[in-house]
Structure 1
């Protein structure tokens, strides 16, 4: 995937972007051919024909390369999905469509998903700020919640960012569980349960109805 150049970018900015693209492409090729654990930063630098200092200036560790690659994929999927979900009738159907599309890719790339999640969790524990939090799937989820609030489907006493974070926590927990044993359940079907849990809460609706009766 090739990020789009922005109008007004300086020559230096374009050069940095080209170098990052080259690093990511080279690293992914090595990861796929010889395995993530068997690939070193030195090998990536040599294969990309750049100085090791240049590589480390862009990415401190190889996990960061996978993280940026997945953010690019997520942003690309978000761009393709955003307009189509607005045509759907309600919040549930929009969330279903958005997450199904995103996690179809995850199902096909479990190794990169595990590497990326582990890296992000380490950064969170260190208190690092996520500069890309509002991109990709998160941006779609936030927009869907905003639309739901406008239509009166979603409560308005909590900001969009808080509600989007709740979905983030739920879906991350499901993915981590799935990565432990991918035969345990179908990921995209489980995400449908995450949506129901977010929209309806953890209350057993059948029992609640019987109690009211």
Structure 2
């Protein structure tokens, strides 16, 4: 009889063990999130996110180009350079959002729209400039080559910025606290990073 009772209760015991395990996992995830996005570690977290997703964006673009027959194999140096440019953009965005939220506190529709416009007029051109400048340095390009590349390609990225970011940034500025802004940006911009890599390395 005792064995029968134990057998009948086995699914309940297993369910309780699974629930306890899941509770422990979620607790650890929450603890890790609080550490990563604390004011002490936020800069490092934002930079790490920017490096990772800029690199992933280039890897995706390169593999698409390989499938189209434009390349024979993955170019690690190109991905490394895109990731390094992402690092500098991540640093800029981290400080920019702290500055913008300090200067324009609040979440009314009027303030959110002002932030979106200021972000597009200042931060977007800044990030595009950082991209081309850092890659020019990493690729040992001359100042003339840098100017020529900016003239040919920067406007394509800036037009894409105006298509993608205003609606995305309304959500960012209205719903999210400052510490999650760069994470949100990079999550949304993974597809944009693919396009950025495409434009940067498009020689047609």
TM-score by length of 2: 0.35
Looking at secondary structure, tell me which structure has more helix per residue: 2
Higher gyration radius (CA): 2
